[in-house]
Amino acid sequence: MTTTSNTDTGNTDAFGAGSEPHEGRVFTVTGEDWDQFVSELGSDESFSERIVVNMGPQHPSTHGVLRLILELEGETVTEARCGIGYLHTGIEKNMEFRTWVQGVTFVTRMDYLSPFFNEMTYCLGVERLLGIDEQIPEKAQIMRVLLMELNRISSHLVCIATGGMEIGALTVMTIGFRERELVLDLFELITGLRMNHAFIRPGGVAQDLPPGALDEIRTFVALMKKRLPEYAALCNANPIFKARLEGVGHLDLEGCLALGISGPVLRSTGYAWDLRKTSPYSGYETYDFDVITWDTCDAYGRFRVRLAEMEESLKIVEQAAERLAGLEDAPVMIADKKIAWPSQLAIGSDGMGNSLDHIRHIMGESMEALIHHFKLVTEGFRVPPGQAYVPIESPRGELGASIHSDGGTRPFRVHYRDPSFTNLQATSVMSEGGAVADVIVAIASIDPVMGGVDR
- How does pLDDT run across 19-57, given as a tens digit for each residue? 555 555 665 555 555 566 556 555 555 556 678 888 877
User: Which pLDDT belongs to residue 5?
Assistant: 41
In angstroms, rounded to a whole number, what is the distance separating the alpha carbons of residues 72 and 81?
Answer: 12
Q: What percent of the chain has pLDDT over 70?
A: 84
Long-range contacts for 328-333 (Cβ within 8 Å, ≥24 apart)? Answer: 329/208, 330/137, 330/138, 330/139, 331/137, 331/139, 331/140, 331/204, 332/137, 332/139, 332/140, 332/143, 332/204, 332/205, 332/207, 332/208, 333/137, 333/140, 333/201, 333/203, 333/204, 333/205
Q: 312 with 293: CB under 8 angstroms?
A: no
Instruction: Give how many domains the chain has, as a whole number.
Output: 2
Both 77 and 156 in one domain: the answer is no
Kindly state whether residue 249 falls inside one of the protein's structural domains: yes
Kindly state whether residue 166 falls inside one of the protein's structural domains: yes
User: Which pLDDT belongs to residue 16?
Assistant: 47
User: Which pLDDT belongs to residue 371?
Assistant: 79
User: Which pLDDT belongs to residue 29?
Assistant: 55
Q: What are phi and psi of 110, to 5 degrees?
A: -70, -90
Res. 436: pLDDT tops 90: no
User: Which pLDDT belongs to residue 331?
Assistant: 87
Kindly state whether residue 359 falls inside one of the protein's structural domains: no
User: Which pLDDT belongs to residue 30?
Assistant: 56
User: Which pLDDT belongs to residue 352?
Assistant: 56
User: Which pLDDT belongs to residue 2?
Assistant: 40
Average pLDDT score over the chain: 83
In angstroms, rounded to a whole number, what is the distance separating the alpha carbons of residues 117 and 147?
Answer: 9
Both 190 and 276 in one domain: the answer is yes
Angstrom CA distances, 83 to 65, 158, 334, 392, stand at 9, 23, 43, 27
- Kindly report the length of the chain: 455
Res. 219: pLDDT tops 90: yes
In angstroms, rounded to a whole number, what is the distance separating the alpha carbons of residues 212 and 216?
Answer: 6
Kindly state whether residue 199 falls inside one of the protein's structural domains: yes
Kindly state whether residue 353 falls inside one of the protein's structural domains: no
In angstroms, rounded to a whole number, what is the distance separating the alpha carbons of residues 450 and 199?
Answer: 22
Domain hosting 76: range is 2-83
For residues 286-306, give the mean pLDDT: 91
Both 14 and 95 in one domain: the answer is no
State the pTM of this model: 0.83
3-class secondary-structure state, position 388:
strand
Encoded amino acid at 26, one letter: V
Angstrom CA distances, 68 to 59, 292, 429, stand at 10, 31, 13
Give the number of other CB atoms < 10 A from CB of residue 321.
20
Both 6 and 146 in one domain: the answer is no
For residue 386, the surrounding DSSP H or E stretch is strand 386-389
In angstroms, rounded to a whole number, what is the distance separating the alpha carbons of residues 204 and 218?
Answer: 23
Final residue before a domain boundary, out of 17, 49, 83: 83
